[in-house]
Structure 1
Amino acid sequence: MYTRNLRKPSPSKNIYKFASRKSHSTIMCESGLEFDACFHLEFSPTIAAFESQPHGIEYLVDGKVRRYTPDFKVVKNTGEIEYIEIKPERIHTTEKFRNEFEKKRAAYSELGYKLILVSEKQIRNQHLLSNLKTLHRFSNTTLSDVHKKVLELVKKVKSLSIRQMAAKMNLVIGECIAACAVLIGIGAITADLVTEPLCEHSLINEN
Structure 2
Amino acid sequence: MKMNQPARKIKATRGKNHRWKVPYFKNGRMIHCESGLERDYVRVTDFDQNVVEIAYQPLFIPYRIKGRIRFYYPDFKVTFKDGTVLIVEIKPHSKVSKPEIQLKALVGRLYCKKKGWKYIIVTEKQLYENSCLLFNLGFLRALGHQPQVPSIVLQNVYDTLCITGATTIYMLRENCQDIDDEFFYAAIYKLIYFQKVFADLIASELTDETLVSVNINHFQLGGEVCAS
The TM-score range, normalised by the shorter chain, is: 0.7 to 0.9
Aligned match of 1:18 in 19, 22, 25? 22
The 5-angstrom pairing of residues 44-83 of structure 1 reads 44-59=48-63, 65-83=69-87
| Length, aligned pairs only | 205
* C-alpha separation in 1, matches of 2:170 and 2:12: 47
1:139 is aligned, of 134, 145, 148, to 145
Residues 149 and 183, structure 2, Cα contact 8 Å, conserved in 1: no
Whether 1:87 aligns to 2:122 is no
Matching residue of 1:30: 34
- Name which structure has the greater RCO, CA cutoff 8 Å, separation 6+: 2
Residue type at the aligned position of 2:169: I
* Residues 106-155 of structure 1: CA deviation (Å, up to 9, x unaligned): 32112221112211132233211111112211236334433211111222
Supply the AA of the counterpart residue of 1:55: L
8 Å CA contact retained: 2:72, 2:104: no
Instruction: Report the Cα distance in structure 2 between the residues aligned to 1:174 and 1:196, rounded to whole angstroms.
Output: 23
Contiguous gaps of at least 5 residues in structure 1:
none
CA contact (8 A) 1:177 1:199 kept: no
Match of 1:161 in 2: 168
Match of 1:106 among 96, 105, 110: 110
Alpha carbons of structure 1 residues 177 and 127: separation in structure 2 relative to 1, 3 Å:
farther
- What's the secondary structure of 1:197's corresponding residue? coil
Q: Are the counterparts in 2 of residues 74 and 84 from structure 1 also a CA contact under 8 Å?
A: yes
After superposition, what is the alpha-carbon deviation per residue over 1:73-105, rounded to whole angstroms, capped at 9, x for unaligned?
Answer: 11212343222111112123x264456524422
CA-CA distance at 1:175 after TM superposition: 5.5
Q: Is the 8 A contact 1:165 1:176 kept in 2?
A: no
Separation (CA, whole Å) in 1 of partners of 2:53 and 2:108: 23
Query: How much is the aligned-residue C-alpha RMSD, in angstroms?
Result: 2.7
Partner of residue 4, structure 1: 8
Pair 54,99 (structure 1): closer, same or farther in 2 beyond 3 Å: closer
Gaps of 5+ in 2: 216-228
1:164 is matched by which residue type in structure 2? M
TM-score w.r.t. the length of structure 2 is: 0.77
Q: Is the 8 A contact 2:149 2:187 kept in 1?
A: no
Tell me by how many angstroms 1:64 deviates. 6.1
Aligned partner letter, 2:193: G
Question: Retained in 1: the 8 A contact 2:90–2:121?
Answer: yes
